[in-house]
Structure 1
Amino acid sequence: MKHKENPERSHPNEVRIGLVSISDRASAGTYQDEGIPALKNWLGLAITSPLSTHERLIPDDAETITETLIELVDELGCDLVLTTGGTGPGRRDVTPEATLEAGTREMPGFGEQMRQISLRFVPTAILSRQVAVLREIEGHAALIINLPGQPKSIREILEGLKDADGKILAAGIFASVPYCIDLIGGPYIEANPDIISVFRPKSAIKPRP
């Protein structure tokens, strides 16, 4: 499937990120969504490249989730899509299944590392079912990652854990996101090293202009 034409990027390295909060209550207006504001705040601090976001607040409905992820990638040209919510064992927690439906290939390392980080805080982290996938269409590809719903957990998983001296105890998953985007043909994402230390092989690091 070829994606629809979308507006030109404001800069060659502009990264387009879709932010999807999945919650029956928040989408119905009975609960204040905290996922998207937490994501926007962290991304604004962490990413130093030009950045644009597309936000969606939707219910825990598998078909709606899949359609939303496809829209963000195929029609709006997002390079990265981050979802929050709906990854537990409850009957209405269908985000992982809907994400797999939208993906063309799974990226299991992200889910493995997310659970390793969360297990440092609560044993119930093993109940989390977050997944990550690539969605690949003609001329474009994107990385889609499920995140938890709590702002504190979102930051910990993206940023990782450090001790009092700043030594990394567990690498945050975002450390690997820019290089993944490189490998699938997306823009070159740079980050604030005070927030997250992005890893790339030396051969993949571009000199600053």
Structure 2
Amino acid sequence: MDWRFGILWISDRGARGEREDQSRGIITDLLEKRIGGRVVTYKVVPDEIETIKETMIDMIERDGVDLIVTTGGTGLGPRDVTPEATLQIVDRVIPGFAEEMRRRASQVSPNELFSRAVIGTRKRTLIVNLPGAPRSAEICLSAILEFIPPALELLAGKRG
């Protein structure tokens, strides 16, 4: 299947051009090489709930992505609002994916249990929140990578 992926980096400093996204290449490689498909859109937004929501909806409706991977804004900081934005737009939450990500990541660093990442669906699109730290993002995405293609197939009506 030729899946269409979107990556959304949520970072105030990234949106102001003060920081470079260290996770983009890692996420792109994992998605394109291990799942198949291509990243068709990449966006950077500040930690603002409305902006995050609008951008995810735009990626779904305008860019036609099958999967959105967000990175950043999942911790306990006062500006970490990615899970709240995600919960406001998803139709269904998939708690098992987020639980598995936290379980695997906490084996490397117990601090990963602070992650509030959410995974869910909006219409036929899967949305995955990842932490902003590159190594954490890689561990978390790798933890659920094998389950993403079957989930995408179910959402696309190709299984079930």
Q: What is aligned with 2:130?
A: 147
TM-score for the superposition, normalised by structure 1: 0.72
User: Number of residue pairs matched?
Assistant: 159
Is the helix fraction higher in 1 or 2?
Answer: 2
Q: Distance in 2 between matches of 1:145 and 1:50?
A: 16
- Aligned residue identity for 1:157: C
Tell me, yes or no, if the aligned pair for 1:20 and 1:36 is still in contact at 8 Å.
no
Aligned-partner SS, 1:176: helix
Tell me how far 1:39 sits from its aligned partner: 1.2
- Aligned residue identity for 1:38: I
Instruction: Give ranges in structure 2 of 5+ residues lacking alignment.
Output: none
Question: Are 1:176 and 2:147 matched, yes or no?
Answer: yes
Q: Distance in 2 between matches of 1:76 and 1:186?
A: 19
Instruction: Give ranges in structure 1 of 5+ residues lacking alignment.
Output: 1-12, 160-171, 188-203, 205-209
Q: What is aligned with 2:24?
A: 36
Matching of residues 1-209 of structure 1 within 5 Å: 13-47=1-35, 49-136=36-123, 141-159=124-142, 172-185=143-156
Q: Which runs of 4+ in 1 moved over 2 A?
A: 41-45, 49-53
- Aligned residue identity for 2:6: G
| Structure 1 residues 90 and 23: CA distance shift in structure 2, 3 A | same
- The percent of aligned pairs where both chains have the same amino acid is 39
C-alpha RMSD of the superposition:
1.5
TM-score for the superposition, normalised by structure 2: 0.92
Which structure has the bigger radius of gyration? Answer: 1
Q: Deviations over 1:154-177 (max 9, x none)?
A: 222222xxxxxxxxxxxx201111
- Aligned residue identity for 1:126: L
| Structure 1 residues 77 and 186: CA distance shift in structure 2, 3 A | farther
Tell me, yes or no, if the aligned pair for 1:79 and 1:186 is still in contact at 8 Å.
no
Tell me how far 1:53 sits from its aligned partner: 2.2
